[in-house]
Amino acid sequence: MMKETFATHIASDSARIGVALTLIFLLLAACGERHGPTGAEPIDATNPTPGVALPPDTDSVPATPPAAEQRPHEVTAPHGATRQDEYYWLRDDERADPDMLAYLEAENDYTDAVMAPLDDSKAALYEEIVGRIKQDDSSVPYKYKDYWYYTRFEEGREYPIYARREGNMDAPEEIMLDVNELAEGHDFYQVGNWKVSPDQALLAYVEDTVGRRQYTLRVKNLGGGETLSVQIPGLSTSLAWTADSRTVFYVVNDEETLLTRWVRTHTLGGEAGSDPVVYEELDDSFYMGLSTTRSEKYICIGLDSTVSSELRCTEAAAPGEFRILAPRERDFEYSADHLDSRWVIRTNWNAENFKLMEVGEDVWGDRSQWRDLIEHDADVFIGGFELFDDFMAVGERSGGLTRVSIVEQDGRTHYVDADETAYTMALSVNAEPDTDQLRYTYTSMTTPASTYELNVRTGERTLLKEQPVLGGFDKNNYVTARLWATARDGAQIPVSVLHRNGFERDGTAALLQYGYGSYGFSNDPRFSSNVLSLVDRGMVYALAHIRGGQEMGRSWYDDGKLLNKLNTFTDFIDVTDYLVDQGYAAPDRVAAMGGSAGGLLVGAVANLAPEKYRVIVSLVPFVDVVTTMLDASIPLTTNEYDEWGNPEDEAYYDYILSYSPYDQLEAKDYPAMFVSTGLWDSQVQYWEPSKYVARLRARKTDDNLVVYRVQMEAGHGGQSGRFRRYLETAEQYAFLLNQLGVETPVASQ
């Protein structure tokens, strides 16, 4: 469940809050996209029956899958509707119940046993994936004030090193954080965010040593190198420094719901226990985060629910009252940035696809004074913007693709050129507004993540970096295309496909179809070197841009949420039918994959059309929708009512129940499945997939293999470290390819 922190839109997240920012594409390439396809290895040639994993001893009987105990338990809604949940006992908020832990360990042991015949495939797959990564890599440096900032990796090491150089890149390197050293002694470690103070002498950062996404604030003296005694736990990742570099604003989470609840400030030298609360959010449907404006004049608290926004700001040089730019109102959303004595505002006010407006910096709480800057366009969705002294860059979405426009001070607009018909373009790190150079990122399913710098005055474009892909990669060996599938209600669904050059659409290939379709997250076509392990073996990889995302504008999202949610699932099935009909895949060699809310997607699809899929990979899946949405104590539930609906309302209860994967499991044949979770997951609690697998085993009528991998020291994003997580994906894809019967030989490069 829940909004994905890994979801990135074309909106600029602004380097104004981001001396802490690094190039997201570098990290995705180095660490792997958690819920995207991550490579594969062919089946063991000694296995004569594709789709059947042999036990370690081919003369023995396969291991027996665990059977969780059934304990009667009623879940009753406020309106009186009652459901039996025989596996409810698997929930333990403390994660200490011995019966529950024994069941999870039994599932892991069973997975170990039935996956043992694929150990060689997993090992080879892992080496193949890692072999494409340039291990001693670094991001494109960006300049902020006196320093050039960048992230680099060292060969064989799991974690990044955050560094800078004063003046130019020939100056001595200053290592701000070596995450490899910080991670020593921890099974899981993550730096969630870092931010350099305005005087560039101090570094505030937050760390997680469990995977629960509950962070601890630390502060480091960059001059002396020592880490200060500050240790404040239970936080989100948001940070902001005051202008004097002496005080840090941070966000404290509710201990039970994990919702962002309080904004506090810590002044260096003070006692953390006495840090004052400067804001408390009482509405459980809102998330909040901190930012510093592009001008660096204001520190702002951004408050967002699914259908409403509010921005409260105070002066960074003299923090005090947080003034409201525009008060919250249902179905009114906005975000804003400040530069050159004005606010520029992105809003849906009378603009379904959003528009840009402006207002003087002294106008607070009165949106009647806002003026249109870029008017609403029914065919163009505005995703974000970045302010510069002499121009503005706007991230847009049109026709299912992203683009960047340059808006001059006189209103003239021109677009950054794209090189392909299916691609993803986004604003990159533009740390300072006083420049004619615009940085943006570009990628497609055949083009590795690339960072460009465009001179908006001369039009000169410079490629700063294309992410290296080792192992003999040649983009000319691959073909990507944008297709359009017709949904059962007539809607045209964009589909991005990737396959080898020379591929023949003869209806015999294996296909992996990936989808998400929630929260308005657009699942754009990006390069993944791991997918090469699929297509090099003759497979087709497809992204289904289904409703519930925002690929085709705001209406695409609205048509796939609340009481329109079934469109998300039927769109996915209709894309499968289209690809099979067009000869991209054999009808009995189709795999589906999704993670988190995408796990809800493939879980619903498995109930609606199990005969259309040979195998399903469901990662940290949100599958127990009704029970979770009825329980406001579960982290993040209350913020999701406008995404799924509140089942305390009987109409929403009935609708959600009609597609909830856990509730709709029944006595019938299901595809083979690989399901995963992390014990410390804060987004989708571990007990949802645990209950799902237990009930699936008890009810299904087929002999298809179901494996359940529980990461006991991880959360929603899986294991930490850029290499360790590939062990997870190697296992998932060894399973998937074995079930699809993909041949062993790799296509020649």
Residues with a catalytic annotation lie at: 596, 681, 716
CA gap 419, 345 in Å, rounded: 31
Q: How many other C-beta atoms can be found within 10 angstroms of the C-beta atom of residue 411?
A: 8
Measured over the CA atoms of residue 251, residue 290, residue 177 and residue 210, the dihedral's sign is positive
In angstroms, the CA 238 to CA 226 distance is 22
Burial of 361 per CB tally in 10 Å (0-12, 13-18, 19+): middle
Among 352, 358, 349, CA closest to 328: 349
Q: ∠255-256-257 over CA atoms, to 5°?
A: 105
Residue among 472, 499, 502 nearest 584 (CA): 499
DSSP 244: T
Angle of the 119-131 helix axis to the 724-740 helix axis, nearest 10: 120
Helix (H) or strand (E) holding 98: helix 98-115
**Run of H or E residues at 203:** strand 202-208
Nearest to 446 by CA among 479, 473, 404: 479
- From start to end of 467-621, where are the E strands? 478-486, 492-500, 511-514, 540-544, 590-595, 615-619
535 closest CA partner among 568, 510, 514: 510
CA distances from 330 to 34, 286, 333, 349, 519 (A): 33, 12, 8, 11, 17
Nearest CA to 316 out of 144, 231, 195 is that of 195
C-alpha dist (Å) from residue 569 to 183, 544, 545, 576, 715: 40, 11, 11, 11, 26
How far is the C-alpha of 204 from the C-alpha of 631, rounded, in Å? Answer: 35
**Which structure tokens are listed for 408?**
């001059």
Tokens 């997918």 found at:
531
Distance CA 479, CA 489 (A): 30
